[in-house]
Structure 1
Amino acid sequence: MALFRQLDEQISQMLALLNKDDRWLIVINADPDALGAALALRHIFKRRVLDVGIGHINEIKRPDNLSMIRFLRIPTRKIIPNLAAQYDKFAMVDSQPHHNPAFDQFQFSIVIDHHPILPDKPVNAPFVDIRPKYGATATMLTEYLYNLHIRPPKLLATALLYAIKADSAGFERSFIDADVTAFKYLTKHADPAILNRIARSDFLLDWMRYFSRAFYNLRRIGQGLYAHMGKVENPDILVIVADFFTRVYGVSWNVVSGEYNDKIVAIFRGDGVRRDVGKTAASLFGEIGSAGGHKGAARAEFDLAALDGKDPESFIVKKLSRGKTQNVQRI
């Protein structure tokens, strides 16, 4: 009995798009799952095409992401026009083209992802493999490697292992049997010492002031928490704080928002039981920006100008409380 599902058809379709003369860029919004999946796809491509690189659209400042890049030697670079111009084919992992306006400049030939599919925003590319039930895109790429009879080298196995661990929040978020199987399989090939170093890279000392700001601005809205951080140096800090608030007893969801590059970014976290925060984010903010995600983790992003001068914090409070501001309490 095969360890993973057979992917003969998918692999044939994907490999048919590769040519020895092509230069491919794997485009990501860098986080652990995207970094691990991109490294795996690069490993598959590297002997089948002329050149393959990894490029990220976001600023990378989260310590675990930086540790992954450093210790696992992930050759990703920030995408600028001069970099993109060096490539003629583009692939995407752990995202879909509508997830960020920065993706609009690319015509993707390959899209591999595990986020929910939005009926009104179909993904059009020669090869599309989207499996929303999977806990991590890294699991999908592990299946690709296995089907191609490629044993992942130590650093690649460690990257994929940490990616699954991070995106499933240690299997506290939604996952399926394939994620567990991939995790067990990769454990045999990964470096536990490096994995531990990456896993312990949680916070930067400079971020402590943001936690202080979050506590000061914290509000209780029904069974959830909300904090607006004002201007932030990087939206990754919003993710860190939102993840922290998931540990508060008796709270089923939380939202942490902030202002970054003339945009409002709101990070949603939930227990995945009482409400689907991906659907919540899409319903509240989908009309004015990009919004959506999973049952337990989601994101919304929209232009500050869309508020027409309204206070961002008050605007989001009203949205989250459905206009019933009497249910909002400062903590």
Structure 2
Amino acid sequence: MKESVGKLKALLSVLKGRNVVIQTHNFPDPDAIGTAFGLQNLLKHFGIEAVLVYCGKIDKLSTKLMIDELGIEIFNAVERQTCDSDYIITVDGQKNNANFTDIPGTEIACIDHHPWTTEYHYEFVDHRMFGACATIIVDYYLDNDIEIPVNVATALLYAIKVDTNNFCRRVTEDDIRAFSALNRISDGKLMTKLVSNELELTDLRAYGAAIQNIVVYDIIGFVHIPFDCPDGLVAMVSDFIMSLDSVQLAIVYADRDGGYKFSVRSEMDEISAGEITKLALEGIGDGGGHAEMAGGMIPPSGKQELGHHVDAPIRERFLNAYKKLLPEDC
């Protein structure tokens, strides 16, 4: 029996007769939203209604366009409050992660593709290290011979495309299988529209700050964006810094609610982006993720530990973490 057949049966058994909420990570990106939307439609196929919620904001134009064009109904948890009796499925992340706000209800299930870090006990877990979390949902459809509607296929394909950086990052055979299936079903014109509208005019301000503020130590590039901007944009600037031929490790951070939001990229086999972020922010914040890409946060309380001139101590923390993680023979 294919893995996703048994997994789906187990998930449906856990959710039977319950009010179901699907929660994405805070400030959700296309992979989180596409995963949630695909799962919502899948559960509906079996007579289970689910509500999609998130915390934070959705302020990236391309993500808003995805939601509007595909008819995705997703609510801010402040506007659509959950209750203690709700069963919550966390997607594209795990309970107790820094980017998952605790909301009323019982976190009963988790579907995720990030390295496993939580000690929380879920009744159901589907954890597979695919390039995108949405690929897990596609597996459910394909292995159980369930038809994928055009709008759902488009959402899932866009999610996988974005999270694998156009199928250039952490791509697995399952991601390719998902692409092959979704590409035949999805709305090609809408995909082109989504892909060609990923940058806003106001985003150029963040790129300008990156060009003006970049500091490079050997192969490590640091950028402080001195204003708040969407998570997706911080990640795009991080990818932009990685395009420099002299940079193999990029640390980009932007002001966020009295603290800082981090996006880290690594193309070094010896240094995991997730490990260096977690180690560098230990004691003042939190972070983690994949070997190639990671995120992190420093809350206002952690910022106070850095003093008035934050850039130097942040760089020092990452440089020290780099030295600790770098093998002695390198």
TM value normalised by structure 2: 0.89
Name the residue aligned to 2:9.
12
2:102 paired with 1:84: no
1:237 corresponding residue in structure 2: 233
What CA distance in whole angstroms lies between the structure 2 residues aligned with 1:274 and 1:249? Answer: 18
TM-fit CA distance, 1:50: 5.8
1:109 aligned onto 2:126: no
User: Residue 149 of structure 1 corresponds to which residue in structure 2?
Assistant: 145
Distance apart, 1:222 and its partner CA: 1.8
After superposition, the C-alpha distances for 1:58-84 in whole angstroms (9 at most, x for unaligned) are: 211122211210111111111116522
**For the structure 1 residues 26 and 207, does the alpha-carbon distance in structure 2 shift closer, same or farther, using more than 3 Å as the test?**
same
Distance 1:14 1:323, change over 3 A: closer
Q: Which amino acid aligns with 2:222?
A: Y
* C-alpha separation in 1, matches of 2:321 and 2:87: 47
Could you tell me how far 1:309 is from its partner in structure 2? 5.3
Partner of 1:219: 215
CA distance in 2, matches of 1:56, 1:87: 18
Report the more deviating stretch, 264-273 or 185-194: 264-273
Equivalence for 1:327? none
CA contact (8 A) 1:18 1:48 kept: no
AA of the residue aligned to 1:19: K
User: Which residue pairs with 2:96 in the alignment?
Assistant: 98
Residue aligning to 2:126: 129
Alpha-carbon distance, 1:192 to partner: 0.9
1:170 is displaced (CA, Å) by 1.4
Residue pair 1:227, 1:256 contacting (<8 A) in 2 also: yes
Computed over aligned residues only, the root mean square deviation of the Cα atoms, in angstroms, reads 2.2
2: CA distance, partners of 1:275 / 1:86: 41
Hey, what's the Cα distance between the residues in 2 that align with 1:123 and 1:269?
27
Matched, 1:206 2:206: no
- Structure 1 residue 219 displacement after superposition: 0.2
Q: Could you say what secondary structure the match of 1:55 adopts?
A: strand
Separation (CA, whole Å) in 2 of partners of 1:63 and 1:323: 35
| CA displacement 1:196-242 (0-9 Å, x = unmatched) | 11111121112222222221111002212111112314343312211
5+ residue gaps, structure 2: 323-330
* Alpha-carbon spacing, 1:9–1:292, altered in 2? closer, same or farther (3 Å): same
Q: Aligned to 1:150, what secondary structure does the other structure show?
A: coil
Q: How many residues align?
A: 317
Report the AA paired with residue 32 of structure 1: P
Identity %: 23
- How far apart, CA to CA, are the structure 1 residues paired with 2:36 and 2:85? 16
CA distance in 2, matches of 1:82, 1:162: 26
Q: Could you tell me the TM-score, scaled by structure 1's length?
A: 0.89
Give, as a single letter, the amino acid of the residue that structure 2 aligns with 1:7.
S
Distance 1:8 1:150 in 2: 11
Distance across 1 between alignment mates of 2:65 and 2:72: 10
Q: Distance in 1 between matches of 2:142 and 2:154?
A: 15
Alignment map for 1:1-331 (pairs within 5 Å): 5-20=2-17, 22-29=18-25, 30-49=28-47, 51-80=49-78, 82-85=80-83, 88-100=86-98, 102-106=100-104, 107-118=106-117, 121-132=118-129, 134-306=130-302, 307-308=304-305, 310=307, 311-322=309-320
Q: Aligned pair in 2 of structure 1 residues 140, 230: CA closer, same or farther (>3 Å)?
A: same
Q: 1:284: how far off?
A: 1.1
Asked if structure 2 preserves the Cα contact closer than 8 Å seen for 1:235 and 1:260, the reply is no
Q: Amino acid of the residue matched to residue 303 of structure 1? A: P
| Contact residue 173 and residue 272 of structure 1 kept, 8 A | no
Tell me the SS of whatever aligns to 1:97: coil
Please give the secondary structure, in 1, of the residue aligned with 2:159.
Answer: helix
The 3-state SS of whatever aligns with 1:227 is: strand
Q: Report the Cα distance in structure 1 between the residues aligned to 2:200 and 2:153, rounded to whole angstroms.
A: 26
Instruction: Tell me the distance in 2 between the aligned counterparts of 1:274 and 1:96.
Output: 26
Q: Which moved more, 1:291-300 or 1:92-101?
A: 92-101
Q: Quick one: structure 1 residues 246 and 233, their matched pair in 2 at CA, closer, same or farther if it must change by over 3 Å?
A: closer
